Amino acid sequence: MDLKTQLAQKKMNAYQWFIVGLCILLNIVDGYDVMVMAFTAAAVSADWQLSGSILGLLLSIGFIGMALGSFLIAPKADKIGRRNLILICLAICSMGMLLSALTQNPYQLAACRLLTGLGIGGILTNASVVANEFSSQRWKSLSVSLLSMGYALGAVLGGIVAYHLTASHGWRSVFLFGGLLTTSVLVICLFVLPESLEYLVVKQPKKALEKINQLSKKIGLPALTQLPVISTTQQKTSFKKLFSPELASQTICIWVAFFTVMAGFYFILSWTPKILAMAGMSVEQGVNLGTFLNIGGILGAILMGTISSKFQIHKILAIFLSATAVSILIFISFAHVYSYALWIGVLIGMMANGCIAGLYALSTVTYSTEIRATGVGLAISMGRIGAIMAPLLAGYFLDLGISPLNLYLVAAMLFGTGFIMLLISYRQYKRARLVTA
């Protein structure tokens, strides 16, 4: 029995859960660094007298960086290793956040947000891959889903920090805090983040046997006397493999689902604080509701992770997608009442972030080790394109005078489209299982 099979079948030990926890910490940093722009949007807009279109650009350009990072940087982990790429991307994020605190106009801030997004795109993809590759088969979906909890925790932290620092120290202090936080996590990972065992076995870099045995001891697996023989086919990473006969339909459905779900998700997260302030609520109330959205997101990630470890991921994700669409429609009816909007926001955050967690889990189990970072990275890139377009188009439509709440109807339709893609994906999944059975 090879190491990969043994790892898949064994019980998770404390060290494996520690690595999953470290990946959650990476996502906490990413959640803060991504959502800091949404929580400071009102203050930045007031400081520089920004139009809706320019503010939409600032809210979207970080997602452009994330898409580029997921598409161009994240797949490099299949060549240089998960650990090395995560460390590089943490350094990029840290630089982008610290420089953001020094900007003097929206274009400088946009450049820094782009830089930060590049790093985040690489981290998000490979944190999911590392969590997947350190987990036993039973707990893979839970481990990856919990990363979305970390992302939401980071967003909640961003809301709390913005609420307390913006009024007294200005919006730049919120970026400075994030830069220092990211730098601290970089130092931690430099000392304790290992390379993935599956990567070491498949790619066999320098001193692979020594590193494999060190990790095997910590995980509770037997040591190897020699490296396993890996076929050249298994070692080769190819974009074309994502569109092989057994994966093509799965890949397309996952890409479309990521695009539509992330478009709806990031429109809600990015614009809700500002839109509610425009609708008559105070800036503090808007930020509070944005924070409650992410508190719901924490609950959603935990719920998705718990359920998906026991039931088929396609079925659970379908329930979350339909529930999100319905929750958004309810929100439209009660958004003018702050107390109602607050708790409906928790429900939306719970369901929507559960969808994101489910898509991450679905994508990581769809692709094999040698193409996993590439497959997951490209799927996330499709999602980032949706995340880019949604805030930009929202700003454009608001400038045209379209009612802000009407935009939430579009968000509900986006989640509905994701639901349809999932149904198609599940049908192809069952066909593939019948063929291989």
Backbone φ and ψ for 376, nearest 5 degrees, come out as -65, -40
The span from the first CA to the last CA of the chain, in angstroms, equals 21
CA dihedral 167, 61, 25, 306 (to 10 degrees): 110
Element (H, E) at 67: helix 52-68
For residues 96 and 44, give the distance between their C-alpha atoms in angstroms, rounded to a whole number: 17
Q: Would you state the pLDDT for residue 435? A: 62
For residues 361 and 377, give the distance between their C-alpha atoms in angstroms, rounded to a whole number: 13
The mean predicted confidence, pLDDT, of the chain is: 84
Query: Which is it for the CA torsion 194, 197, 202, 208, positive or negative?
Result: positive
- Maximum Cα–Cα distance for the chain, whole Å? 69
Parts of the chain with a pLDDT under 50: none
Q: Would you state the pLDDT for residue 238? A: 61
Q: Helix count (H) and strand count (E) of the chain?
A: 17, 0
Structure tokens at 224: 């190897």
Which of 28, 17, 23, 55 minimizes the C-alpha distance to 294? 28
CA 35 to chain centre: 12
What count of Cα atoms within 13 Å lies in the side-chain half-sphere of residue 281? 22
Q: Please give, one letter per residue, the 3-state secondary structure of 175-199.
A: HHHHHHHHHHHHHHHHHHCCCCHHH
Q: Would you state the pLDDT for residue 427? A: 82
List, in order, residues 6 or more apart from 19 with CB less than 8 Å away. Answer: 130, 131, 134, 193, 194
Under DSSP, is residue 339 helix (H, G, I), strand (E, B) or coil?
helix
Q: Would you state the pLDDT for residue 379? A: 87
- Which domain, by its residues, includes 197? 3-436
Under DSSP, is residue 81 helix (H, G, I), strand (E, B) or coil?
coil
**pLDDT tens digit string along 351-407?**
998 998 889 888 877 777 677 777 877 887 888 788 778 877 887 887 888 777 788
Question: What Cα–Cα distance (Å) separates residue 54 from each residue in 50, 61, 293, 400?
Answer: 6, 10, 24, 14
Q: Would you state the pLDDT for residue 189? A: 95
Structure tokens at 344: 């409906």
Question: What Cα–Cα distance (Å) separates residue 335 from each residue in 269, 344, 396?
Answer: 15, 9, 22
Q: Do residues 292 and 152 touch, judged by C-beta distance below 8 A?
A: no
Cβ count near 177 (within 10 Å): 21
Q: What is the CATH number of the domain that holds 75?
A: 1.20.1250.20
DSSP string, 270-292: HHHHHHHHHTT--HHHHHHHHHH
Percent with pLDDT over 90 in the chain = 29
* Amino acid found at 5: T
- In the chain, how many domains are there? 1
**pLDDT tens digit string along 45-54?**
989 988 878 8
For residues 197 and 204, give the distance between their C-alpha atoms in angstroms, rounded to a whole number: 10
